[in-house]
Amino acid sequence: MNIPEIFGTDVFNESVMQQRLPKTVYKSLKKTIQSGKPLDIEVANVVASAMKDWAVEKGCTHYTHWFQPMTGVTAEKHDSFISPIGDGKVIMEFSGKELVKGEPDASSFPSGGLRATFEARGYTAWDPTSYAFIKGKTLCIPTAFCSYTGEALDKKTPLLRSMEALSQSAVRLLKLFGVEDVTRVTANVGPEQEYFLVDRDMYAQRKDLIFTGRTLFGAPAPKGQELEDHYFGMIRTRVNEYMEDLDEQLWRLGICAKTKHNEVAPAQHEMAPIFDTTNIATDHNQLMMEIMKRTARKHGFKCLLHEKPFAGVNGSGKHNNWSISTNTGVNLLDPGTTPSENAQFLTFLVAVIKAVNDYQDLLRASVASAGNDHRLGANEAPPAIISIFLGDELNAIVEALADGHKYEGKGKVQMEIGVDVLPSFPKDSTDRNRTSPFAFTGNKFEFRMPGSRLSCAGPMTILNTIVAEVLDEFYDELSKADNFQSALDDLIKRTISENKNIIFNGNGYSEEWPIEAEKRGLLNLKSTPDAVPVFLADKNVRVLSKHGVYTKVELESRVEILLEEYCKTINIEALTMVDMAKKDILPAVMTYIKELGETAATADALGADVTVEKEMITKLSSLCTAAYKALGELENADAAASDITDIEEMARYYHDVVLVKMAELRAPADQMEALCGEKYWPYPTYEKLMFSASI
């Protein structure tokens, strides 16, 4: 395989545009991409026609406006290019109008009340900053999805708005540093995607995996992740074939698949592409998740993207590596090599620290979901507290700056803002604190809280916006100063002092941390019902609407959608558990009990000792009783949820009551699994699910 040759072959990218578009059209399209101005219809017609010719040559018959509604997956409605010309004949046609705007029926997508307030119809609008690509026989056009009155019904629109806000705020602030040539600042993300691969036939035997994406029952396997032999371990043949296939498909789509390795839990893996703008990387990540699933089918696997498919071993995250860079190629989170870069770097660094501290609630809320709750704040998971890790050296500098102490690392006597050169911080993983939810890693921050299934759009939208806000605050202060240098000095030192509470370089998984964090006044929003409502706190509505990212109405709709999704997810899980326990688990255990009874009778007739049989029957029977009782209670508790009308109250009920009842049913069921003969158990066990791919 010649990678450079196949790379991006299925993408209508820069080089294809250059080849296929007349110079003037190409220029005008480029201008649109760079400035974000609407596309002239004449230009759109030429682009559409060229796109269509290119796609048809590659075997396409259809096109679709590819978008990301609030369901979390991508949506597409395929239209063929055909257009009748009389005489029963057709030609392949695609107009500029069709390219720039589509009108899918919005009424079946979640809108969280926006539909009632506004119109049912929605439209999709081409996002020319993300290239069109081919999937199967369809030309996919990345688009934003809005209501007719302009409210965002998707995840891309707010993300684009937040990128714009951040760009404006950063460009303006940079001017105070004498940086005049920067006209755009871009937020980037490199999302590391974790996932599990399980055998497809085994998957098909488990209703919990099919309906909910995670196991709702399952006794631990004799071996878990304690030997830590899976992480970075040799990639097994079948998995390797899958990864190779995946890489090739991603490369064809112009996605820079770069790193792949085994993760900590058995059957868990990771894949990371090279970072891109938060918009493009988000699109690519959505596409990547889809292709990961599709490719798994070909290799007899099921790819599990759920945040916690198995109890007792690690869940899966999507670590968002975030940085901001200028159109002149400067990474603003890179310490740089000159004294003036040091001032600029420290300014952006402390802006991020302040933003994360001021809006820790929003960041936490941006990653909230029923699935991710199992990774954050639940029993075996790290706490849902946001804190920042800076690493030893940077931390020492920051502390010294704030306290006015001397910083004596690396031969330096004292660090002065804008006067000294900062030491270079390690960018490799040696200095990593993997227990920190928000870690500085040399020239970027790694936000590790997002769950594996989550679109990058939500957390990136929040991060971009809150940083824009603090950059504006800084601008307001610095632009009024008579002496820029001393004002900057003061601002940086004060910001560090005031936000030191969010900096934590210790073990975020330790038992002491939540106690210490509480003393520091940090939030610990443990569950989705705790976290999601904070979107509507006054300060959050104010910042998000001020930057034109979400209107209050849009936020209200999102809160409703998120809470509704939470309730629905747990409801489905509860119903699935009841179904499995009733129809499969109890009958299986009873069959086993019957067999034990028959064995006992035979043995007893022969005068043999039947203590073991009796004991096993007694144990299993009492567990059956407990499970049956728990099952009834779960059924009732779940049914009672429908009486609650307020969505926030309902979400709390699901969390406080239904989840608890689910755990009460799981406990005896898992105990029965451990006691029951393997051939009687109705589902493939954890052992089989997690270790089978190694055979």
Residue 529 contacts residue 651 (beta carbons within 8 Å)? yes
Nearer to Mg ion among residue 192 and residue 489 (C-beta) = 192
Q: What's the distance, CA 520 to chain centroid?
A: 28
The single residue among 190, 309, 377, 383 that binds ligand ADP, judged by CB under 6 A, is: 190
The single residue among 286, 321, 326, 557 that binds ligand ADP, judged by CB under 6 A, is: 321
Smallest gap from residue 445 Cβ to ligand ADP (A): 9
Nearer to Mg ion among residue 192 and residue 560 (C-beta) = 192
Nearer to ligand ADP among residue 227 and residue 274 (C-beta) = 274
Smallest gap from residue 192 Cβ to Mg ion (A): 4
Smallest gap from residue 320 Cβ to Mg ion (A): 12
Nearer to Mg ion among residue 192 and residue 358 (C-beta) = 192
Question: Which listed range, 182-190, 223-231, 564-572, 660-668, lies at the site for ligand ADP (CB under 6 A)?
Answer: 182-190
Residue 52 contacts residue 63 (beta carbons within 8 Å)? yes
Burial of 79 (0-12, 13-18, 19+ CB in 10 A): middle
According to the binding rule CB under 5 A, does residue 263 interact with Mg ion? no
427-466 residues near ligand ADP, rule: CB under 6 A? 429, 443-444, 446
- The backbone region for 416, taken as left when phi is positive above 0, alpha when psi lies in -120 to 50, beta otherwise, is beta
N-terminal to C-terminal alpha carbon distance within the chain: 28
Distance of alpha carbon 19 from alpha carbon 88, whole angstroms: 34
Nearer to Mg ion among residue 289 and residue 563 (C-beta) = 289
According to the binding rule CB under 6 A, does residue 214 interact with ligand ADP? no
Nearer to ligand ADP among residue 446 and residue 673 (C-beta) = 446
DSSP of 141-207, one letter per residue?
EEEEEEETTS-B-BSHHHHHHHHHHHHHHHHHHHHHTT--S---EEEEEEEEEEEEEEEHHHHTT-H
Query: Residue-wise over 222-251: b if at least 16 C-beta within 10 A, else e?
Result: eebbeeeebeeeebeebbeebbeebbbbbb
Site string for ligand ADP, 53-72 (x = CB under 6 A): --------------------
Q: Sign of dihedral through CA atoms 6, 291, 302, 231?
A: positive
Site string for ligand ADP, 379-418 (x = CB under 6 A): ----------------------------------------
Distance of alpha carbon 472 from alpha carbon 477, whole angstroms: 9
Nearer to ligand ADP among residue 433 and residue 443 (C-beta) = 443
Distance of alpha carbon 470 from alpha carbon 330, whole angstroms: 20
Nearer to ligand ADP among residue 192 and residue 664 (C-beta) = 192
SS3 string, 428-445, reads: CHHHCCCCCCEEECCCCE
Residue 427 contacts residue 441 (beta carbons within 8 Å)? yes
Nearer to ligand ADP among residue 16 and residue 256 (C-beta) = 256
According to the binding rule CB under 6 A, does residue 501 interact with ligand ADP? no
Residues 637, 642, 644, 647, Cα dihedral to 10°: 110
Residue 303 contacts residue 197 (beta carbons within 8 Å)? yes
According to the binding rule CB under 6 A, does residue 274 interact with ligand ADP? yes
| Binding site partner of 452, from ligand ADP, Mg ion, none, Cβ cut-off 5-8 A by kind | none
Residues 6 or more apart from 147 whose CB is under 8 A from it? 106, 111, 114, 115, 118, 119, 121, 122, 153
The single residue among 183, 259, 479, 602 that binds ligand ADP, judged by CB under 6 A, is: 259
According to the binding rule CB under 5 A, does residue 276 interact with Mg ion? no
Give me the amino acid identity at 233: G
190-209 residues near Mg ion, rule: CB under 5 A? 192
According to the binding rule CB under 6 A, does residue 332 interact with ligand ADP? no
Nearer to ligand ADP among residue 134 and residue 305 (C-beta) = 305
Smallest gap from residue 272 Cβ to ligand ADP (A): 4
134-193 residues near Mg ion, rule: CB under 5 A? 192
Residue closest to ligand ADP (Cβ): 190
Pairing assessment for the beta strands 122-126 and 101-102 based on DSSP bridges: antiparallel
Residue 513 contacts residue 504 (beta carbons within 8 Å)? yes
Which residues here bind Mg ion, judged by CB under 5 A? 192
Which residues here bind ligand ADP, judged by CB under 6 A? 188-190, 192, 259, 272-275, 321-323, 331, 429, 443-444, 446
